[in-house]
Amino acid sequence: MADTSNVTVIEKNHALTIVGIGELDLSNSQRLKEVLKKSVDRDGEIVLDLRNVEFIDSAVLAYIARAGGALLDRNRCLKLLVCDGSQPLHVLKLVKFEELVEIVVEPAAQRGARCCGSS
């Protein structure tokens, strides 16, 4: 299965930011899975930026759940950045991931170049 995801990793001052773009699902998210798995063992803040992601599926939820749970076991927290009204935010709330990870919602008024699906 070819991984055609658009996932970028940014390391700065002990922080790791994983930036996704477009649709992330089982067919194209292998790199996201690998980066999240490796990130659990590193020091510093770990942020998954989903503000430019239009769609996530259950495979991506599983990757987030594994990384979030592993970080909680280490008294740490995975931070997710999402846009208000987005499909990823809807799905994350539906499965109550706010109990597992820190979800930071960017308000619709601040949408623009950083959020997909803005009106």
The proportion of the chain whose per-residue pLDDT surpasses 90, expressed as a percent, equals 83
Q: Which domains does the chain have, with CATH numbers?
A: 6-110 (3.30.750.24)
The answer on pLDDT for 34 being more than 80 is yes
Q: What is the mean pLDDT of the chain?
A: 90
What's the whole-model pTM score? Answer: 0.88
User: Which is it for strands 78-83 and 102-106: parallel, antiparallel or unpaired?
Assistant: parallel
Contact present, 59 and 29 (Cβ < 8 Å): yes
Kindly indicate the confidence band of residue 118, based on its pLDDT and cuts at 50, 70 and 90: very low
- pLDDT tens for each residue of 35-93: 999 999 999 999 999 999 999 999 999 999 999 999 999 999 999 999 999 999 999 99
Residue 55's SS3 state is strand
